[in-house]
A and B are shown apart, each in its own frame.
Chain A
């Protein structure tokens, strides 16, 4: 059972905007930076963005992250077929002294 909770799946038509939620607690999301990863089948995860708004080079600005209290969100605008995959949130947990991941959300482009 994951420490951070995400919906199992979200879907949207090409060009639409989708959001993924990530729910945690005071010790993780409530205190620390939330990171988002994308994983396509057969590949390693890739860091997409974080709640501190740092985005690795090559990640388009239609992808953004936010955080409020003990919840975080990832938004993807202008949905494209390349966006299909699994998305994971993660954060350092000060109580567990460990890095914790969400359960993952599968994005399907209709």
Chain B
């Protein structure tokens, strides 16, 4: 059973760069079968998808964050990372890493997306 664990600084100052890492165990991020995502939740608010990355290097980002965010993978460490530049108080949130969403074809040739089927416990980030 795959498990994910986020790590990073809990507190940053305005305009600094946030870097978070997600350690994956019980499964390989080297698998072509999955994308890996970052998702955040501001205090008392809903969920916001930040972006996803695949072992091929393919990435996709939330249009509202695209100019400040980048995702990378380190397959030797079985981890992937988030880098968010020029943070403000609006970036204060709990940050989650997860597996998915990933597109696939079923036996009839119909295309579907799997959801984010595994999540880390989340790590709180406060920007002062």
Which residues of A are at the interface with B, using a C-beta cutoff of 8 A? Answer: 2, 32-33, 35, 37, 43-47, 50, 52, 54, 56, 88, 90-92, 96-104
Are B115 and A90 in contact, with the CB atoms below 8 A? yes
A56 to chain B: closest residue by CB: B117
Tell me the bound Cα distance from A32 to B121 in angstroms.
Answer: 27
State the main secondary structure of chain B at its contact with A. Answer: strand
Contact of B61 with A98 in the complex, beta carbons under 8 Å: yes
Show 14 residue pairs from A and B whose CB-CB distance is below 8 angstroms, ordered by the A residue.
A32-B113, A33-B112, A33-B113, A33-B114, A35-B101, A44-B120, A50-B112, A90-B47, A90-B115, A90-B116, A98-B49, A98-B61, A99-B101, A101-B46
Q: B50 to chain A: closest CB distance in Å?
A: 9
Interface residue B103 (Cβ < 8 Å from any Cβ of A): yes
The answer on a CB contact under 8 Å between A47 and B116 is: yes
B37 in the interface (beta carbon within 8 A):
yes
- A43: chain B residues at CB < 8 Å are 121
Taking a contact as CB atoms under 8 Å apart, the answer to whether B115 and A37 are in contact is: yes
Query: B119 touching A44 by the CB < 8 A rule?
Result: yes
Assembly CA distance A102 to B105 (angstroms): 25
Known: A33-B112, A99-B37. A47 touches B117 (CB 8 A): yes
Given A47-B115, A98-B60, A99-B101, A88:B47 Cβ within 8 A: yes
Given A37-B115, A44-B96, A50-B115: A92 and B121 interface contact (C-beta under 8 Å):
no
Contact between chains at A97 and B46 (CB < 8 Å): no
User: Which residue of chain A is the closest to B103 with respect to CB atoms?
Assistant: A92
Does the CB pair B117–A97 fall under 8 Å? no
A46 CA to B47 CA in the complex, in Å? 12
Q: How far is the CB of A5 from chain B (nearest CB, A)?
A: 11
B63 interface residue per 8 A CB criterion: yes
Q: Tell me if B78 is interfacial: C-beta within 8 Å of chain A.
A: no
Complex Cα spacing A103 to B103, Å: 23
Cβ-based interface call for B74 (8 A): no
Cα–Cα, bound, A99→B50 (Å): 9
Would A97 and B60 count as touching, CB distance under 8 A? Answer: yes
Q: Judging by beta carbons under 8 Å apart, are B46 and A102 in contact?
A: yes
